[in-house]
Chains A and B, each alone.
Chain A
Amino acid sequence: MNLTLQIWRQNGPNDAGRMVEYKVSDISEHMSFLEMMDVLNEELVAKGDDPVAFDHDCREGICGMCSMFINGEAHGPDRGVTTCQLHMRMFNDGDTIYIEPFRAKAFPVIKDLIVDRSSFDRIQHAGGYVSVNTSGNTQDANSLPVPKADADKAFDAATCIGCGACVATCKNSSAMLFVGAKVSQYALLPQGKVEAVERVKNMVHQMDLEGFGNCTNTGACEIECPKGISLSNIARMNREFFVSALAGE
Chain B
Amino acid sequence: MSAPTGIVKTSIARKFVMAFTGFFLIVFLLTHLSINLLTLSSDPEAFNEASHFMATNPLIQVMQYVLAAGFLIHIIMGIKLTKQNSDARPVKYVKNNAAANSGFASRSMIVTGLLVLVFIVLHLKDYFWVLKFGDMTPYSSDYDLVVGLFSSPLYTVIYVAAFVLLGIHLSHGFQSAFQSLGANHPQYTPFVKGFGTWYSILVPAGFALVAVWHFVQSL
Contact = CB atoms under 8 A, between A and B. Distances in A.
A69 B90 CA distance: 16
B1 A202 contact: yes
Contacts, number: 141
Given A201-B1, A215-B15, A245 B7 contact: yes
Interface stretch (B38-46, B53-61, B99-107, B163-171): B99-107
Contacts of B16: 238, 242
B140 to A, nearest CB: 47
Interface string B178-219: 011111111000000000000000000000000000000000
A174 interface: yes
B85 A72 contact: no
Nearest to A234: B179
Contacts of B107: 171, 218
A245 B87 CA distance: 27
A106 B85 CA distance: 12
Interface residues of B, number: 45
Contacts of B137: none
Interface residues of A, number: 52
Interface in A166-221: 169, 171-174, 176, 201-202, 204-205, 207-208, 211-220
B172 interface: yes
Given A174-B88, A213-B84, A216-B106, A232 B184 contact: yes
A218 B12 CA distance: 15
Nearest to B78: A216
A5 B95 CA distance: 13
Nearest to B8: A245
A103 B93 contact: yes
B21 to A, nearest CB: 14
B11 A204 contact: yes
B109 interface: yes
B101 A73 contact: yes
B179 A217 contact: yes
B88 A211 contact: yes
B94 interface: yes
Contacts of A201: 1, 7
B182 to A, nearest CB: 4
A171 to B, nearest CB: 6
A232 B192 CA distance: 14
B118 to A, nearest CB: 21
> What 10 pairs between A and B have smallest CB-CB spacing?
A72-B97, A235-B184, A213-B88, A172-B85, A239-B182, A223-B101, A173-B88, A213-B85, A238-B182, A98-B95
Given A77-B100, A220-B101, 18 more contacts: A72-B95, A105-B90, A173-B88, A174-B11, A204-B10, A204-B11, A205-B10, A213-B84, A214-B11, A218-B106, A220-B102, A236-B182, A238-B15, A238-B180, A241-B10, A242-B16, A248-B1, A248-B2
